[in-house]
Amino acid sequence: MPSEPSRKPARAGRVRSPIPSPAAPPALIPFRDPAILTAAKRVLAHQVCDHCLGRQFARVSTGLSNAERGRTLRQLLGKPAPRACSVCDGLFTRLDHWASRAAAALEGLEFRTFRVGSQPGPQFLQKEEDLWEEVGIEHCEPLKSEVNREVGKLLERLLGKKADRSPDVTVVLDLAAGKVAVQIAPLYVFGAYQKLVRGIPQTKWETYATTVEDIIARPFMRAAKARAHALHGMGREDIDARCLAWRPFVLELEDPRVRTLPLRLLEKQVNRSAKVQVRGLQWSSKDEVRGVKAARPDKTYRLAVRFAKPVKDLRPLKALVGIIMQQTPQRVLHRRADLLRKRRVKALSGRLTSPRDAVLEVRGEAGLYVKELVTGDGGRTTPSVAAVLGPCQVKTLDVIQIHAGRRRYGTRKLGI
């Protein structure tokens, strides 16, 4: 019989090690901590959805949504999903509905950025707090935070706009009442104005139909479709005074439905008025409002003064340069506390236009009552022009310079 073919000896090969089980993704590793699993069991005893389960461990790991955290923990513990959630009552299954309602509420508004806020109501808050009493709050995220974030993501996709912490509009979801409200951020416009006539106040005043604010704001209100306005000025001139200097201001427009405004065109529209002129209009901010209102620049005034008796020489008035003591003027006592104030006159010059008439220019620090510097206000301001040269009255008053310099107010340097 033929011999069997010889077989080659088997080659010694490498011993293959068993295929290792895949490592858990880093985001899931913390959920295998026995302490976390024990806490999750206590939460699951309350029959909660994946969102409300995962939210109790939101700070345990990153890279997962709360729903993904909840599903992971549920699978690790082998627990089925409940028919209804005892905490949110199915709220997270209705987020698309809330996003659609929010989008509808924003129709007709111009905005680039938005933010979502919510008011959960006592029924949600109490259920969540009851859960926290049992499992603690070390790792949790509040329900409203998740609602705000998840509805915000849906709105970004619906609107093609970005959520932002400093938004143009804020949508507020009243989860208990089932209502949606919209809060529109104000618009702020910086500029400087001149008041070219006497007899109109800067802002709203009883018995005066026209104000500087109204003249400036009128074209802006039409263009922005705003609900209301406010003028924040760097000080204010008296009603019977002109302001020939350029006074910095910020115009605030409340609830504007339109946010893109043609500032140069609006400047021209304001300047059609013979009473008020504006210049240097730029977009501004609430921070700049604070800066403008807090500023206390020197001012230079021009006053036409009438003396009771002829005057030959104004040089004695140089004695007024320096510290002036002023008791609250009688004309403003009805709205100001009766206090003694120390003010400084920094410069004073003048010329006689007739034996009984003079034009004075006075530079004083902020808060100087310049009319009373002239009249003496019955001895409440000392020294005064009247004390030096005899009784006199102010015929006209103009603000001719506001020494804002190039200091920074809010977000810009002013060189008005």
Write out the catalytic residue numbers.
238
Phi, psi for residue 274 in degrees, rounded to 5: -90, -5
The DSSP string of 137-158 is SSS---HHHHHHHHHHHHHHHH
Residue 36 has what DSSP assignment?
Answer: H
Beta-carbon contacts of residue 220 (< 8 Å; ≥ 6 apart): 189, 226, 229, 251, 253, 261, 266
Residue 262: Cβ-neighbour burial (10 angstroms; 0-12, 13-18, 19+): exposed
Residue pair 186/256 in contact by the 8 Å Cβ criterion:
yes
**What distances in angstroms separate CA 61 from CA 3, 26, 122, 139, 410, one per listed residue?**
70, 9, 29, 9, 40
Distance CA 229, CA 235 (A): 18
Q: How far from each other are the two terminal CA atoms of the chain, in whole angstroms?
A: 120
Distance CA 63, CA 26 (A): 9
Distance CA 330, CA 338 (A): 9
Distance CA 191, CA 177 (A): 43
Mapping DSSP to helix (H, G, I), strand (E, B) and coil, where does residue 110 land?
Answer: coil
Distance CA 414, CA 234 (A): 11
